[in-house]
Amino acid sequence: AQSVTQLGSHVSVSEGALVLLRCNYSSSVPPYLFWYVQYPNQGLQLLLKYTSAATLVKGINGFEAEFKKSETSFHLTKPSAHMSDAAEYFCAVTEDTGGFKTIFGAGTRLFVKA
Amino acid sequence: NAGVTQTPKFRVLKTGQSMTLLCAQDMNHEYMYWYRQDPGMGLRLIHYSVGEGTTAKGEVPDGYNVSRLKKQNFLLGLESAAPSQTSVYFCASSTGTVQPQHFGDGTRLSIL
């Protein structure tokens, strides 16, 4: 059965600093991995997705994530944080096993300090 | 571009009352989902549908019912609301099981 663990419920960075949000997963088959962002009082929006085509995935707003099978990780990064990046971020994993189940992590809230 | 629209956006109920949450999508997606979001727990799947006329249970289905009579609409019902159902409810849709999901802006439901 798949699972997702996001390390750190809260992360605080200064504007212009590196953003690193950690996600580890477990899956019995090659997974499909996603990062979503949620702004206050809104639904989740897709940032990027991994579907085995390339291990480094680029998303919107300057975010990217690297799939590392040996570490079962899919960490999200952005070289330089902007105030508008303050939001909650969710990692999610789906298995293509004929059934359906997407598991979402508990979320990491990103704070950006001026 | 409406995408996924949820109504109502806010609602306060008394214990034992019933209500229906409506989700409508205009993207012709086959798959639709209902989640609840509680602090520190991410999103948990309540029910989902893989096409018009079909529904299936998710991770936390107890106390909820759903219907998908039309492809574009997915209804979530609470027959007898309980305080434990106080949450933010999100509807989502997708083109397939491994495709990204498109979310509505949520319904904030409080049960007193």
At residue B46, the pLDDT reads: 95
Contact B32, B52 (CB under 8 A): no
Q: What is the mean pLDDT of residues A23-49?
A: 92
**Nearest to residue B76, comparing CAs of B88, A75, B3?**
B88
Alpha carbon of residue B49 to chain centroid: 11
**Chain A environment of B90 (Cβ under 8 Å):** 43-44
**Chain B environment of A96 (Cβ under 8 Å):** 97-98
| Sign of CA pseudo-dihedral B76, B81, B85, B89 | positive
Q: What is the mean pLDDT of residues B88-104?
A: 93
Q: What is the mean pLDDT of residues B6-32?
A: 96
Are A104 and B104 in contact (CB < 8 Å)? Answer: no
A42 → closest Cβ in B50, B56, B105: B105
At residue B8, the pLDDT reads: 96
pLDDT tens-digit map of B30-61: 999 999 999 888 899 999 999 999 999 998 99
- Determine which of B5, B35, B97, B102 to mutate to test the interface with A (most A C-beta atoms within 10 Å): B97
**Chain A environment of B3 (Cβ under 8 Å):** none
User: Does the pLDDT at position B24 exceed 70?
Assistant: yes
Mean pLDDT of all residues belonging to chain A: 92
Query: For a pLDDT cut of 70, what percent of chain B falls above it?
Result: 99
Name the pairing type of β-strands B10-13 and B107-111. Answer: parallel
B40 → closest Cβ in A45, A100, A106: A106
At residue A102, the pLDDT reads: 87
User: Does the pLDDT at position B72 exceed 90?
Assistant: yes
Determine the Cα–Cα distance for residues B81 and B76; give it in Å rounded to an integer.
Answer: 12
The answer to whether residue A66 neighbours chain B at the CB level (below 8 Å) is no
A–B CB contacts, 8 A cutoff, strictly below: 50
Are B98 and A46 in contact (CB < 8 Å)? Answer: no
At residue A3, the pLDDT reads: 87
Residue type, A59: G
User: Does the pLDDT at position A100 exceed 80?
Assistant: no
* Closest-CA distance of chain B to residue A90, Å: 8
